[in-house]
Amino acid sequence: MATLRQTCAALDEVLRLPPSSARGHAQRLRLAGVLPASQGYPGQISSEHIAAILVAITVGSPLVDDYLNLKPGTGGPTFGKVLAGLVEKPFDLLELQIETLAPGASVTFRGPDRGVQAISFYPPAPKPRPAFDREVRIGPEVFIKLAAAIANAPEVRAGRPRLRDRYTRT
């Protein structure tokens, strides 16, 4: 897995965002207490935290908890857990659709029987919806590129660079 900085750079590249956009969302999530504050330590970030940053990019930082706690209509894990699983193993995903005006999401994927399945996530208490829809659709190529970028991220050392690395010419 990658560090927070490497993950944010990968999200910016994969989603074709301006530089440091994902990092700004991650900093807002850290201030809100959604992401752990580990200043100065380049620890690896979990897939749940990557899912939170992805939701923050699509709908905005204040609504992340509402979206991550959405439950499917048929029962099962929350949207945050499903999205974290898709970040780790994206190869069966067909489409992720997030409603940006009212909490709601839908995931279409290849099931264990190799058939197409869809799960819809709803808030526990229905909220009034506007008369029009505004959705974000994320295809499988985004998740596959993100998983590859995270898996290929170089290891980060804590502390000062080694003496040999500081004085070599580049």
- Quick check: is 163 in a domain? no
- Quick check: is 161 in a domain? no
- Quick check: is 168 in a domain? no
**pLDDT 10s digits, 10-28:** 999 999 999 999 999 999 9
- Quick check: is 28 in a domain? yes
- Quick check: is 20 in a domain? yes
**Residue corresponding to tokens 């995931």:** 107
- Quick check: is 169 in a domain? no
Domain total for the chain? Answer: 1
Q: Taking the model in full, what pTM does it have?
A: 0.84
* Residue 102 CB partners (closer than 8 Å, separation 6+): 123, 127, 128, 129, 130
**pLDDT 10s digits, 43-87:** 788 999 999 999 999 998 888 998 999 999 888 999 999 999 999
| Domain ranges, residue 57 | 4-154
- Quick check: is 160 in a domain? no
Q: 70 exposed, middle or buried (CB, 10 Å; 0-12, 13-18, 19+)?
A: buried
- Quick check: is 164 in a domain? no
Query: Taking the alpha carbons of 74, 80, 83, 88 in that order, is the dihedral positive or negative?
Result: negative
